[in-house]
Amino acid sequence: MKTGPRGEHGSGGRTVRPLCGVLAAMAVALTGTRISAIALPWFALVTTGSLTRTGLVTLCEMAPYVVVKALTGPLVDRAGPRSVSWTADVVSAATACAVPLLHALELLSFPLLLVLVAVIGAARGPGDLSKEVLVPEAAEYGGLPLERAAGLAGVTERLATTVGPAIGGSVVALLGPLTALAANAACFALGAVILAVALPRGGARRCPLRTAARPEPPVPGAGGDAEPGYWRRFGDGFRFLRGERLLVTIIVLVGVTNLLDAALNTLLLPAWARESGNGPAVIGLTGSALGIAAVGGSLLAAAVAHRLPRRTVFFAGFLLAGAPRFLVLAAGAPTWVVPAVFAVSGFGLGFLNPIMGAVMYEVVPRPLLGRVKALSTSLAWAGIPLGGLIAGAAVASFGLTPVLLAGAAAYFLATNLGGLRPEWRQMDRRRRLERLTSATR
């Protein structure tokens, strides 16, 4: 195998194929997820007429997602992300397909729906984690900078955010939510096929994950001949994460904003669409507007983020991404204004994941990446299962507009007050050290 001037693997098709396969599988799986994010809440809302039950459906999907994702990090590191991703996508496809099938047979009770939704969430957790872990491995196999790989993964996610809501909103409006869930199942099945074909067994892991010029940092618990057990591996990841104050600070901030985003996307936006008479199509329109702009932001981040101060760009992105979405819905603005504001927010969102991903890939040793990524993502997503439930109860008690205003205030305060902590300075300091190390090679 040929190597480049810095020990990177050659530029043949073999180097490009793993990353393309991972990103393609990620794209179709995330598209299916975005479709179900509209179809499941709308199905629960129109069949039960209860905002509380709609929030409960969201809880039953996201709670298993968070818990299972946190616990499968050691499994991903040991069994390999490719195998785990493929298996999880197959389970997700079969379970999502069961919802419309059982409904057609008049066998789908509300408790059974909650069980199926929980299985979908539990399978999605390790599936998403495995694809995230495969990104830096495939990128280093092809010699791509980690910041650029994180940017491309962000673009992929944002494209799914664009296409998924558009498909989901249109299919739900024209053919009903159950047809949209069948499309969701097809997306997961296609993702499994793509990963199996484009990323052969052992694909990205055929090359060393670190070059000789950039040795792997020591891993806690390493050095013995005996293979550590599950809880030892889990504990190694937890101890490493606990010692990284910047990562912990990012997790807390993102955890708060994720809860608010979940409240908006899973309940407040559908409730606004129903109250305003716009219907599910406008949900897809706003999601697509946000996604298109976020793709632009992610592309720009992939191209120039390594030249910009991370901390400044990070909090500017949050300023655009957060409160404006809540305020435009609360203000009763004309329908065409809502997608425009969501587009501005999406542009800001596009810069966030590439920056956070680059920091994660720089800080975490590769053998620990599955565990640390699983724990950090699960902790950051811990509030998501409660978002819809809390929002549903709040809207039932106080009305939609006051809850939207409270959400805008909470988002603004969390991102601005959280940004005062000193740990954020390490964002740019780490990159300066990385550049200095590269310059001395």
Asked if residue 10 has pLDDT above 60, the reply is no
- Indicate the DSSP class of residue 267: I
CB atoms inside a 10 Å sphere around CB 405: 17
Mean pLDDT throughout 74-81?
A: 78
Asked if residue 313 has pLDDT above 80, the reply is yes
Average pLDDT, the chain: 77
Asked if residue 98 has pLDDT above 80, the reply is yes
The class level of CATH for 13-200+232-439 reads mainly alpha
Asked if residue 405 has pLDDT above 90, the reply is yes
Per-residue model confidence (pLDDT) at position 341: 92
Asked if residue 7 has pLDDT above 50, the reply is no
- Rounded distance between C-alpha atoms, residue 39 and residue 247, angstroms: 34
User: Rg (Cα) of the chain, in Å, rounded?
Assistant: 21
Per-residue model confidence (pLDDT) at position 144: 67
Q: Say which residues have a Cβ less than 8 Å from residue 86's Cβ, sequence separation at least 6.
A: 192, 195, 196
pLDDT band at 325 (very low <50, low <70, confident <90, very high): very high
Per-residue model confidence (pLDDT) at position 209: 39
- Rounded distance between C-alpha atoms, residue 15 and residue 4, angstroms: 12
Per-residue model confidence (pLDDT) at position 359: 82
Per-range mean pLDDT, top range of 147-156, 175-184, 362-371: 175-184
pLDDT band at 411 (very low <50, low <70, confident <90, very high): very high
Mean pLDDT throughout 90-116?
A: 86
pLDDT band at 409 (very low <50, low <70, confident <90, very high): very high
Per-residue model confidence (pLDDT) at position 146: 64
More confident residue, 254 or 197: 254
Per-residue model confidence (pLDDT) at position 34: 79
Least confident stretch, 366-370, 403-407, 409-413:
366-370
Per-residue model confidence (pLDDT) at position 22: 83
pLDDT band at 308 (very low <50, low <70, confident <90, very high): confident
Mean pLDDT throughout 105-113?
A: 84
CB atoms inside a 10 Å sphere around CB 3: 12
pLDDT band at 260 (very low <50, low <70, confident <90, very high): very high
What interhelical angle do 400-418 and 269-276 show, nearest 10? Answer: 150
Beta bridge partners of 9: 3
pLDDT band at 434 (very low <50, low <70, confident <90, very high): low
- Rounded distance between C-alpha atoms, residue 25 and residue 37, angstroms: 18
Per-residue model confidence (pLDDT) at position 5: 37
Per-residue model confidence (pLDDT) at position 14: 45
- CA neighbor of 194 nearest in space, from 37, 17, 73, 75: 17
| Percent of the chain clearing pLDDT 90 (strictly above) | 6
Per-range mean pLDDT, top range of 78-87, 296-305, 379-388, 391-400: 391-400
pLDDT band at 15 (very low <50, low <70, confident <90, very high): low
Helix (H, G, I), strand (E, B) or coil at 336: coil
Q: Model's pTM, two decimal places?
A: 0.64
Asked if residue 326 has pLDDT above 90, the reply is yes
Is the separation of the CB atoms in 266 and 325 below 8 Å? no
Burial of 213 from C-beta contacts in 10 A (0-12 / 13-18 / 19+): exposed
Domain ranges of the chain: 13-200+232-439
Per-residue model confidence (pLDDT) at position 429: 60
Per-residue model confidence (pLDDT) at position 324: 92
Asked if residue 428 has pLDDT above 80, the reply is no
Least confident stretch, 63-72, 266-275, 313-322:
63-72
Asked if residue 2 has pLDDT above 80, the reply is no
Q: Which helix (H) or strand (E) holds 285?
A: helix 280-304
Asked if residue 1 has pLDDT above 70, the reply is no
pLDDT band at 142 (very low <50, low <70, confident <90, very high): low
378 sits in the region (left: phi over 0; alpha: psi -120 to 50; else beta) called alpha
pLDDT band at 47 (very low <50, low <70, confident <90, very high): confident
Mean pLDDT throughout 57-73?
A: 81
Amino acid at position 279, single letter = G
CA atoms within 13 A on the CB side of 110: 15
Question: Residue holding tokens 């090679």?
Answer: 441
Per-residue model confidence (pLDDT) at position 214: 39
Asked if residue 307 has pLDDT above 80, the reply is no
